[in-house]
Structure 1
C-alpha cells in the first residue's frame, strides 16, 4: 500500500466492475470514485490548480473560486485545504446536502444560488455570480472548469492511457458529458491511438450540450444548461440521452447487487447498456466510466420520498434497462 502525505497523491486507477452478470451486456465499468475526493473530478482539479500555480496566477492570499454542482467543489476543497488556499464554491439548490457539508468540513465556503438566471438556468446564474465576485476583488482566482484546457488535459494524460493499458483491444468507450472535460480528453487520446475506438457520449435529457430544448434536471453531475465551451463534436461518434428515471433505475439495480454508485454513473450505465442491447456485441470490448460513488446521493437518488415526489411512486417498478439475457421491446441482437 502507498504511504502519502498529500490527499491528492492517491487515486485508484485499476479498478473495474464487470457488469455482465447484472445487465447481461459485456461492459466493464472503470471506477473513478476511490480517492479522497470521491470522484473523477480530482484529476481535473489538481491539473487546473497546478497549472495556475505554474502560470503564477495563484498566490498566498489568493481565493480560488469555482462554480460546481458538487464533485469538483469537493475535489477543490480537498486540494485547497492541503495546499493552504482559501476556496469558495458557488453551487445551486440542486447540490446534494452531503456534498455541501463535505466542502464546509474541509474548510471551504459554499454559496448556494437559489434563483435561475434569465439565460442558462442555474448554471448561468452561478457563472454571473462568479464573474461579479472576480470583478469585486482581485484576490479571487476563477479556474473556470468550463473553459480551462486543464480539464480535458487531465484525462488525455491519465484516464485514457490507463484504459488503453488495461484494454488494448478496446472497441467502444462510454463517457458521460458534463463540462465535457473527461469526454474530450479521452476522445482526443483515442483519436490518436493505434486502433479505432467508438466514442459514445451519455447526456441527460433536458441538457442542451448537444442541442435541443432545456428541461428539468434534478440530479446534479451530467448535462449542461448552456453549450459546453470545451465540446468539439467532431471527436464524438454518437450521443445517447438518458431520462432521469432510467438513471435512478440503473443506480438501484446496481445497489441491489451491493454496488452503490452515484447519479452520474447511473446515467452512463443506463445509456451504455441500452446501446449495447441494440448492437452485435460478439467479440466487442466496451468500457464505461463511473465518475462517482453513491454516498452523496443517499438523500436524493436513494431516498424513496424524494424519488416519489419528483418521479412518481412507480419509478422503481418499471425497469428501464434490460434484465440479464433480455432485450428491450423492439430491439434484437445484432440490429
Structure 2
C-alpha cells in the first residue's frame, strides 16, 4: 500500500487521477474525471492556487493585501481556503444564486461575502458582481483582484496539469468534454490537446441562458457553468463543438447519478448531460474513448438540485418526465431542449480534430 501523503497546507492535497466509468450507470461509453476530491471540493482549486502564487511572485499580493474576487461559489471556497492558510483577508463577491452552504463554507474559513441583489441589464448577475468588485478596488488600494475572467493562470493551471493527466490515463483519447464557465479549464485543455500527437475533439458544454457562445441571455438558477458576459479568455477556434444543456436536464442527470451512489454537483450534471447528447448524436454505435471533466461534488447542492420542493418550484413537475429524445433531458414537442434551446448547437465552422 502506498504511503499516505503528509501535508501542511490544504491546497497541497488534490486527487488528480480518479475516473468513474459511467457505462454501467448511464449506458454511455464515458469516463468522468473527478476534480472535486480536495479540501476546496472542486476543480477551482487548481486555478485559485496558480493565480495566488503568480500574484505573490509578481509582488501584487503581499502582507496586508486583501484578496477580492467575483465567484458564483466554487472559486470563492478555494480562495477562502488558500487565504486562510496564507494569512490573507478575502472578500468574495457573489449573487443570490450562490448556495447557502457554499457561502457558509467561505465564512467558516474567515472570508467576507458580499452578495449583489440586482443583475445588470446587459451583463446579468456577473456584470453586477464585476461592477461591485471594481468599486471596491477603486475605494481601497489594499484590494487585489485576481480576476479569474482574464487571468492567464486560470487556463495555464489546466494546461500544465489537467490536460496532461488525462492524456497519461487515456493515450487513445478521442473526445474531451469540458464545461464552460470562465473557460479557464476549457482553454487550458484545448490548447494542450491542440499540440498533442493525437487529434482530439474538444467539445464545450454550456448552460442554456448563457451568452458565452452567442445564445440569448436567460435566467439561470444553477451556479457554476455559463456566463452573462462573454468570457474574455474564450478562443472559439480551439473549440470543435458546443452542446447547450437546459437546467432541467442538468437536474435529472444529477439525480440519475445520485441514484447510483454518485453525488455530483450541478456543473458536473451539465457536463455529463451534454456529453451524453453529443455522443448519442455523433458516435452512437461507434467505439470511442471519451472523457468528461467533473468540476464539482454534490453536497453543496443538497438544498437546490437535490431538494424536490426547490426543483418543482423552479422548473415545475415536468422536470421529472422523460425527454422526447429518450434521454434524461426535458424535450419540447419540436425536438428541441426545453425553452427552445437546441440540444446540440455547433460552433461556426472550424477545423475539427478529424480534419487536422
Confirm or deny a common fold (TM above 0.5): yes
Counterpart in the other structure of 1:163: 166
* Aligned pair partner of 2:295 in 291, 303, 322: 291
* Aligned pair partner of 2:305 in 292, 301, 306: 301
* Aligned pair partner of 1:271 in 259, 271, 274: 274
* Structure 1 residues 301 and 320: CA distance shift in structure 2, 3 A: farther
Structure 1 SS opposite 2:94: strand
* Aligned pair partner of 2:218 in 206, 215, 219: 215
Gaps of 5+ in 1: none
Counterpart in the other structure of 1:19: 22
Per the TM alignment, residue 212 of structure 1 is displaced from its structure 2 partner at its CA by 1.9
Counterpart in the other structure of 2:186: 183
Matched, 1:138 2:141: yes
> Deviating runs (4+, > 2 A) in structure 1?
279-283, 317-324
Distance across 2 between alignment mates of 1:322 and 1:273:
11
Q: Greater relative contact order: 1 or 2 (C-alpha under 8 angstroms, separation 6 or more)? A: 1
* Aligned pair partner of 1:316 in 307, 311, 320: 320
Structure 2 SS opposite 1:2: coil
1:1-335 equivalences under 5 Å are 1-280=4-283, 281-318=285-322
RMSD of aligned alpha carbons: 1.6
Per the TM alignment, residue 318 of structure 1 is displaced from its structure 2 partner at its CA by 2.4
Q: For the Cα contact (< 8 Å) 1:19–1:26, is it kept in 2?
A: yes
* Structure 1 residues 183 and 45: CA distance shift in structure 2, 3 A: same
Distance across 1 between alignment mates of 2:302 and 2:90:
25
* Structure 1 residues 233 and 291: CA distance shift in structure 2, 3 A: same
Distance across 2 between alignment mates of 1:256 and 1:116:
35
Structure 1 SS opposite 2:318: coil
Question: Which sits farther off after the overlay, 116-125 or 142-151?
Answer: 116-125
Counterpart in the other structure of 2:344: none
Q: TM-score, normalised by structure 2?
A: 0.90
* Structure 1 residues 16 and 134: CA distance shift in structure 2, 3 A: same
Aligned residues: 327
Gaps of 5+ in 2: 336-356
Q: Deviations over 1:147-197 (max 9, x none)?
A: 000000000000001000000000000000000000000000000000100
Structure 1 SS opposite 2:317: coil
* Structure 1 residues 162 and 285: CA distance shift in structure 2, 3 A: same
Per the TM alignment, residue 313 of structure 1 is displaced from its structure 2 partner at its CA by 1.8
Distance across 2 between alignment mates of 1:320 and 1:245:
13
Q: For the Cα contact (< 8 Å) 1:250–1:321, is it kept in 2?
A: no
